Chains A and B, each alone.
Chain A
Amino acid sequence: EAGVAQSPRYKIIEKRQSVAFWCNPISGHATLYWYQQILGQGPKLLIQFQNNGVVDDSQLPKDRFSAERLKGVDSTLKIQPAKLEDSAVYLCASSLGRGIFNEQFFGPGTRLTVL
Chain B
Amino acid sequence: EDQVTQSPEALRLQEGESSSLNCSYTVSGLRGLFWYRQDPGKGPEFLFTLYSAGEEKEKERLKATLTKKESFLHITAPKPEDSATYLCAVQARGNQFYFGTGTSLTVIP
B51 nearest CB neighbor, chain A only: A100
**B34 CB contact (under 8 Å) in A40, A98, A103:** A103
Q: Is the CB of A106 within 8 A of B87?
A: no
Set of chain A residues within 8 Å of B44, measured between Cβ atoms: 43, 91, 104, 106
Q: Is the CB of B91 within 8 A of A102?
A: yes
- In chain A, positions 39-53 with a C-beta closer than 8 Å to chain B are 40-45, 48
Set of chain A residues within 8 Å of B36, measured between Cβ atoms: 106
Consensus secondary structure, chain A interface: loop
Q: Is the CB of B43 within 8 A of A91?
A: yes
Q: Is the CB of A4 within 8 A of B95?
A: no
Chain B interface size range: 20 to 34
Set of chain A residues within 8 Å of B95, measured between Cβ atoms: 48, 55-56, 98
Q: Is the CB of A43 within 8 A of B87?
A: yes
Does B94 have its Cβ within 8 Å of any Cβ on chain A? yes
A109 nearest CB neighbor, chain B only: B43
Q: Is the CB of A108 within 8 A of B87?
A: no
Set of chain A residues within 8 Å of B41, measured between Cβ atoms: 108
A58 nearest CB neighbor, chain B only: B96
Q: Is the CB of B101 within 8 A of A93?
A: no
Residues of B whose CB lies within 8 Å of any CB of A are 4, 6, 31-32, 34, 36, 41-46, 49, 51, 87, 89, 91, 94-102
Q: Which 3 A-B pairs rank lowest in CB-CB distance, beginning with the nearest?
A: A106-B43, A42-B99, A43-B99
19 further interface pairs, Cβ-Cβ under 8 Å (given A48-B97, A91-B43, A106-B44): A40-B101, A42-B87, A42-B100, A42-B102, A43-B44, A43-B89, A45-B96, A45-B97, A45-B98, A56-B94, A91-B44, A103-B49, A104-B34, A104-B97, A105-B46, A106-B36, A106-B43, A108-B41, A109-B43
Residues of A whose CB lies within 8 Å of any CB of B are 4, 33, 35, 40-45, 48, 55-56, 58, 91, 93, 98, 100, 102-109
